[in-house]
Amino acid sequence: MKTGSLGDRTDALDRIEVVIQESTTGVLVKTIHHRKWGSSNGRVSYAIKVPRDADLRIRTTNGRVITDGVNGNHGLRSVNGSISAERMAGSMKTRTTNGSIDIELTRLNANEDINLKTVNGSIVLSLPEATTADLDVTTANGRIRSDLPVTIGTASKRKLHGTLNGGGDTRVRVSTVNGQRQHLPAGRFTGLFYRRA
């Protein structure tokens, strides 16, 4: 239940500053909370459209991250929130603490690595079937499953080291502590996923 008057609410919004500026590498967007008495009420939700070929560095503390259709080198991060990326291409580094990760890559070139990590949440990674990569997958309280033909180097219920299509220059690292749900990628993509044991 929220308390406080609308006047308090509008005051809180007035103390949130959104900065959008060109930087040396592209564009920087940031939210600044000018706090009063240590509080940080209010939130900012961003809807952003970008050219198809762009690199993303996205970070929020409390909230979801959703991306769609961008080709580049990407870093997506949250603390309390899920991360979802559809029809993406390029390298991907994704991290959250409380939330699931669901990544669909339609293209992955050599030396474009994937690093996905969460503590409380499942991870689903969908890759093109022809992907050549080295795999390093771990979970503490979950299950590892793959629709892809993985050549297993070493494997246990909680860890998997192996290769896809003979291995390659791409490294895929996937890690969760408490995976919670199962998801089967559809279409021509197949993937790795975790489920609570």
Q: Which residues would be at the binding site for other proteins (CB under 8 A)? A: 6-7, 9-10, 13, 16, 18, 20, 22-23, 25-31, 33, 40, 42-72, 81
Pairing of strands 190-194, 144-146: antiparallel
d(CA 63, CA 155): 34
CB of 32 or CB of 197, closer to other proteins:
32
**One-letter amino acid of 99:** G
Distance in Å, CB of 130 to other proteins, minimum: 23
CA angle in degrees (0–180, nearest 5) for 103-107-111: 95
Q: By C-beta, is 68 or 169 nearer to other proteins?
A: 68
How far is CA 57 from each of CA 8, 40, 73, 91, 170, rounded to the nearest angstrom? 33, 23, 9, 12, 20
Please report, as a single letter, which amino acid is at residue 52.
R
Which C-beta is closer to other proteins: that of 6 or that of 186? 6
Q: How far is the CB of 191 from other proteins (least distance, A)?
A: 21
Closer to other proteins by CB, 42 or 167: give it.
Answer: 42
The distance of closest approach from Cβ of residue 21 to other proteins in the complex, given in angstroms and rounded to an integer, is 9
Q: How far is the CB of 181 from other proteins (least distance, A)?
A: 20
